[in-house]
């Protein structure tokens, strides 16, 4: 793999434990982790892994993925170096590797409103666009004007909001994972900083009181069915506190599965599928999984 190492100025990390790179704190060893410094390096890496038919995964903050504890024989590509940030009036241009929570706080403190929903979402901008992350009846689809993407043909193009097919917890990128978000152009509104920060603090208190933030998790496991909530349905069929190994349905919020100690990715996946099956059998509603199983 010497040639792979020459493609990026940051070098290549080998045999990295993935549990250090996911919010669930699960995952086995990955053969390689690469952090390209720019688009040119990213293209070089992608051409190499595709031509050598190597498995690869673009990974943001690891806040919505579940890796098995078995080895990942492939390349993890992280866009941590894509950190550019430009704020002009109420418009923001930001790199895909930028922390979503950090960005949301930065724009809020600057008196811009529209990203309050994101102050509790521990992902990257690219990951948030990919899955159309949201909360409190808002999501990325409301604020993203356009994005720069790398196409499967290695072209950098702009895609406008209407092309991105934003819907509840999905987007064009999720449906076409060979397109990679490099940068987002976000448009917000001017607001009163004190009022914005009051909303953020109020929601933070609500999260602390209603979510099991003291345990590793990846946030909401299932999408809310129209007109209902996944947490209510899971609780209604008596699954709060259900455990498989070190994975447990939170007693604080039933739509969270938490790692209560040395859970494996396999145990978390098994528990998610078990919850889905029981809810379907008892209510007739098939919950859709928000999180991604990576084999």
Catalytic residue numbers? 169, 220, 290
Q: Which tokens go with 246?
A: 């070190």
DSSP for 35-90, written as a single string: --SSHHHHHHHHHHHHHTT-EEEEESSSSSEEE-SS-EEEEEEE-TT---EEEETT
* Residues 101/106/110/115 CA torsion (nearest 10 deg): -20
Which has the closest alpha carbon to 79: 25, 147, 134? 147
Instruction: In whole angstroms, give the CA distance from residue 40 to residue 78.
Output: 14
Q: Which tokens go with 151?
A: 């196409």
Alpha carbon of residue 30 to chain centroid: 19
DSSP 250: -
C-beta atoms surrounding 35 within 10 Å = 21
Which has the closest alpha carbon to 77: 153, 158, 176, 7? 7
């Amino acid at each position: 793999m010497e040639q792979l190492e020459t493609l990026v100025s940051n070098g290549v990390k080998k045999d990295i434990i993935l549990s250090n790179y996911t919010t669930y704190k699960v995952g086995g060893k990955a053969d390689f982790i690469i952090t390209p410094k720019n688009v040119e390096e990213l293209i070089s890496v992608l051409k190499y892994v595709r031509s050598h038919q190597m498995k690869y995964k673009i990974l943001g903050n690891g806040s919505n993925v579940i890796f098995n504890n078995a080895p990942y024989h492939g390349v993890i590509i992280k866009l941590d170096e894509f950190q550019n940030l430009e704020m002009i009036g109420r418009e923001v241009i930001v790199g895909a590797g930028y922390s979503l929570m950090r960005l949301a706080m930065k724009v809020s403190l600057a008196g811009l409103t529209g990203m309050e929903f994101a102050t509790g979402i521990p992902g990257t901008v690219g990951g948030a666009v990919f899955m159309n992350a949201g909360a409190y009846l808002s999501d990325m689809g409301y604020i993203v004007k356009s994005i720069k993407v790398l196409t499967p043909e290695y072209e950098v193009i702009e895609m406008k909001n209407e092309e991105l097919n934003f819907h509840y917890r999905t987007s064009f990128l999720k449906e076409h994972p060979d397109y990679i978000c490099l940068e987002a152009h976000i448009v917000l509104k001017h607001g009163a900083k004190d009022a914005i920060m009051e909303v953020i603090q109020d929601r933070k208190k609500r999260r602390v009181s209603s979510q099991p933030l003291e345990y590793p998790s990846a946030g909401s496991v299932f999408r809310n069915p129209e007109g209902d909530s996944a947490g209510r349905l899971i609780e209604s069929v008596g699954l709060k506190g259900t455990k498989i190994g070190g994975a447990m349905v939170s007693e604080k919020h039933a739509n969270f599965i938490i790692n209560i100690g040395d859970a494996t990715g396999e145990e978390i996946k098994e528990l998610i599928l078990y919850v889905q099956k029981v809810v379907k059998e008892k209510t007739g509603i098939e919950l859709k999984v928000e999180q991604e199983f990576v084999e």
